Structure 1
Amino acid sequence: MSMTNFISIFPLGIVVYPGEQLNLHIFEPRYKQLVTSCLAENKPFGIPTVINNKIMEYGTTVQIKKVEKLYRNGEMDIVTEGEKVFRILEHVKQVPGKLYGGAIVNYPENEGNVHARLQREVLQGIRELHTILQIHKSFKKDDNLLLSYDLAHHAGLSLDEEYELLQLLYEAQRLEYLKRHLHKVIPMMAEMERLKERVRLNGHFKNLSAGDLGTGEV
């Protein structure tokens, strides 16, 4: 049985995963109020994903780890950490007496068993992708401790794809999803790089000798 509770929500056009550190600049009055009340009660808040201006059903609760900076006008820079995936059962546009909204949510069972072989394949694929794109990323954990959630933002997924992954509640499913995605994009990216190389070489003076031109009679 997954428990049901009421949480304050801060809908954003991003996907947050459990364990992820998310830094936010809070400037809207309603979210200044939300953060202030979560700090006072030491409560998490929920970030449901917004896609095409629509609040989606799934999101992740985040706990405020610290207020990095408090501005004179009440704006804040906060450091939060993703906790668990929730599903919205009922959306409350405005919490009574507050400026912000909330939701009645439950927390689907979320299985995180280790799948070492699959995880290594995904990590290798991500590193291959980064090499092609000439990006250097280092992770904050040892390779063997990295979960699908730690890797997902580094695999070049679109927002829709990141959201699809959020709805997968087994670690093996999430890793398979990333593996399929990488198998699809790596060849495309490698081809793009070759294409760029060919375009770059065009327009340079080619060092041709008469021997290269062939001696066929015209």
Structure 2
Amino acid sequence: MKIPLFPLDVVLFPGAPLPLHIFEERYREMFRRCMAEQIDFGVVRAQEDGLAVVGCTASIGRVMHRYEDGRFDVMCQGERRFEIELLDDTHAYLQAEVDFLPDDGPEATRAEREQCAALHFEAIELARLELPMPHLDLDKPIAFSLAAALPADLDFKQQLLDMRSDASRTRKLQEFYEVLLPQLRTSSPIRKVQGNGRVM
């Protein structure tokens, strides 16, 4: 399947909100097409050495504000993970042939999710970060919801997005918190945490 691509310095997770300010003409064109044809676009992390291979589609919600010069603010939401197979630069904006990536591994147990959520909220409280509290259904996967609210580095978030198992993502998040929490318990408040658990 071919989809329009929006390279950004973010890692978007399924279900996560994505507010955007659209100002470049090529992306105005892309958004006009997506809204007219009611199609999603792909958000992929732009890195110094190129694009990440795995990204996440985003659906367009509502236009929050339109400016007189044609710029606009729009609220989007992450939907489905994909893997880029082939890039197409024949348009003003980038497109790609993609394959969608459903999970093919086991899901975490409810007990594992409860433990991971508890560690997450303890870390956020100790770091004194004012973050929106995700709504969690512990009978369903929660790793993406927790990771979306986590001010961790993008390399770590990309690793989570690449994983094909809810159990693996939940364990990796839990390991992250278990390394981070002892530092938080004995250090001053932080603003951002590294994926390897180092305090910035």
> Quick check: TM above 0.5?
yes
Structure 2 CA distance for partners of 1:160 and 1:54, relative to 1, 3 Å = same
2:25 aligned to which of 22, 29, 34: 29
Q: Which sections of structure 2, spanning at least 5 residues, go unmatched?
A: 190-200
1:110 aligned to which of 87, 103, 111: 103
1:14 aligned to which of 10, 34, 54: 10
Mapped to 2, the partners of 1:142 and 1:167 lie a distance apart of 22
Residue 41 of structure 1 deviates from its aligned partner by: 0.4
2:147 paired with 1:152: yes
Mapped to 2, the partners of 1:174 and 1:45 lie a distance apart of 24
Structure 2 CA distance for partners of 1:63 and 1:23, relative to 1, 3 Å = same
**Cα-Cα RMSD:** 1.9
Aligned length: 187
Residue 155 of structure 1 deviates from its aligned partner by: 3.5
Mapped to 1, the partners of 2:52 and 2:27 lie a distance apart of 19
Q: Confirm or deny: 8 A CA contact 1:126 1:154 kept in the other structure.
A: no
Mapped to 1, the partners of 2:131 and 2:25 lie a distance apart of 35
Mapped to 2, the partners of 1:188 and 1:50 lie a distance apart of 31
Report the AA paired with residue 85 of structure 2: L
Residue 73 of structure 1 deviates from its aligned partner by: 1.1
2:141 paired with 1:175: no
Aligned to 1:126: 120
Q: Confirm or deny: 8 A CA contact 2:12 2:148 kept in the other structure.
A: no
Residue 74 of structure 1 deviates from its aligned partner by: 1.1
Mapped to 1, the partners of 2:29 and 2:161 lie a distance apart of 28
2:62 paired with 1:69: no
2:190 paired with 1:191: no
TM-score, length-scaled by structure 1: 0.80
Q: Confirm or deny: 8 A CA contact 2:134 2:149 kept in the other structure.
A: no
Identity of aligned residues (%): 25
Please identify which structure carries the higher helix content.
Answer: 1
Deviation string for 1:15-63 (max 9, x for gaps)?
Answer: 0000111110101111111111100000000001112252110100001
Structure 2 CA distance for partners of 1:156 and 1:121, relative to 1, 3 Å = farther
> Counterparts in 2 of 1:35-114, with a 5 A limit?
35-52=31-48, 54-95=50-91, 99-110=92-103, 113=107
Partner secondary structure for residue 10 of structure 1? strand
Residue 139 of structure 1 deviates from its aligned partner by: 2.5
Q: Which sections of structure 1, spanning at least 5 residues, go unmatched?
A: 195-218
Q: Confirm or deny: 8 A CA contact 1:155 1:182 kept in the other structure.
A: no
TM-score, length-scaled by structure 2: 0.86
> Counterparts in 2 of 1:201-212, with a 5 A limit?
none
Mapped to 1, the partners of 2:185 and 2:157 lie a distance apart of 22
Mapped to 1, the partners of 2:136 and 2:166 lie a distance apart of 18
Q: Confirm or deny: 8 A CA contact 1:51 1:160 kept in the other structure.
A: no
Aligned to 1:139: 133
